[in-house]
Amino acid sequence: MTAKTRRDPPTAATRAAQELDLGGGSSISYLPGHFAADQADEWFKALDSSLPWERPEIFVRGRRSLQPRETFYIADPGLKPLKYSGHAPAYHIWDDFPVLQAIRDAVCEAVPGYAFNSCLINRYADGDSSVAWHSDAEKLFGIAPTIASLSLGTSRDFLVRRKVRSKRASAEVDSAHGTKRTKREKVSAVDVISSRGETQDEKELGEETSKFSFYLGNGDVLLMRGNMQRDWEHAVPKRKAVKGTRLSLTFRTVLEPS
């Protein structure tokens, strides 16, 4: 069952952080319109026009194909390089991009208690740009990474769904992480969050809700915590009607030195 979203602009009443407890140690914090439109627009224009974007070939499901979006990677000096889908993005450092340093500081203030040392930016040029279902489970981020994403530019759907595993695979994963789960994880009594403040209570959604949709807009912040990358996956699907460009800045903490 899917928790659907609305597409209304955020109001003063809906800008506060909203929490979604997915059970099993997984949770999402959503801050709609956290950054004002003029600030978000300024950041978007500065990054979209100046970053050296890459669009590499990647290896997915046994074949190579052109990545359906552009990317840019930045991190503290001396960290282990990021690699995914057979690709190692060019490694940039904060001192060369002061605007990204300022954005990182602002995001860390928005989600106190976290100090991110890397950022992968995805550029979705239009509705044909996308990212398929996946989890950010690279070893250099640890077994339970916290990922903060900032959306700039055109609004896009961001989907989250529970992973489907065999009983044996689930037991192996739980053993590796030292955790136990019930046969049926139940969504917390905390309301399920839409992208613009609308909520649906647990009774309406039922216990087997396994898919959520956020319509992330300009200046929105979304935080994935705990076992999200172990138990859930996310995607930005193609949307033919979308004409504008979106930047998704995903801030993470690399735990392994080079």
Question: Each residue of 99-142: pLDDT tens digit?
Answer: 999 999 999 999 999 999 999 999 999 999 999 999 998 899 99
Q: Most distant CA pair in the chain: distance in Å?
A: 50
Q: Give Cα 90 distance to the centre of its chain.
A: 20
Any domain includes 257: no
252 is in an annotated binding site: yes
CA distance 17 to 32: 7
Residue 159: which of 229, 118, 214, 116 has the closest Cα?
214
Any domain includes 258: no
Any domain includes 21: yes
Alpha helices, H only, the chain:
37-50, 98-110, 167-177, 202-205, 228-231
122 is in an annotated binding site: yes
Any domain includes 181: yes
218 is in an annotated binding site: no
CA distance 46 to 64: 32
199 is in an annotated binding site: no
- Asked if the model's pLDDT at residue 84 lies above 50, the reply is yes
Retrieve residue 204's tokens.
């309406």
CA pseudo-torsion sign 142, 251, 63, 242: positive
Dihedral angle over CA of 249, 198, 206, 2, nearest 10? -50
CA distance 143 to 137: 7
- Asked if the model's pLDDT at residue 176 lies above 70, the reply is no
Give the domain range for residue 131. Answer: 2-252
73 is in an annotated binding site: no
CA distance 217 to 153: 7
Residue 164 burial by Cβ neighbours in a 10 Å radius (0-12, 13-18, 19+): exposed
177 is in an annotated binding site: no
pTM to 2 decimal places? 0.80
Angle between helices 98-110 and 37-50 (to 10 degrees): 140
Altogether, the residues listed in the chain come to a count of 258
State the amino acid at position 90 in one-letter form: A
Burial string for 121-136 (b: 16+ CB within 10 Å, else e) reads: bbbbbebebbbeeeeb
CA pseudo-torsion sign 126, 70, 212, 34: negative
What local confidence, expressed as pLDDT, does residue 218 receive? 98
Any domain includes 210: yes
Any domain includes 208: yes
What local confidence, expressed as pLDDT, does residue 185 receive? 37
- Asked if the model's pLDDT at residue 5 lies above 70, the reply is no
What 3-state DSSP class applies to 100? helix
Q: Give 49-76 pLDDT, tens digit per residue.
A: 999 999 988 877 778 889 899 999 999 9
Q: How many domains does the chain have?
A: 1
Residue 120: which of 140, 91, 155 has the closest Cα?
91
CA atoms within 13 A on the CB side of 253: 14
Any domain includes 133: yes
What local confidence, expressed as pLDDT, does residue 183 receive? 37
2 is in an annotated binding site: no
- Asked if the model's pLDDT at residue 189 lies above 80, the reply is no
Supply the DSSP symbol for 208: T
Q: Look-up: residue for tokens 């600030």?
A: 39
Any domain includes 76: yes
User: What's the CATH number where 124 sits?
Assistant: 2.60.120.590
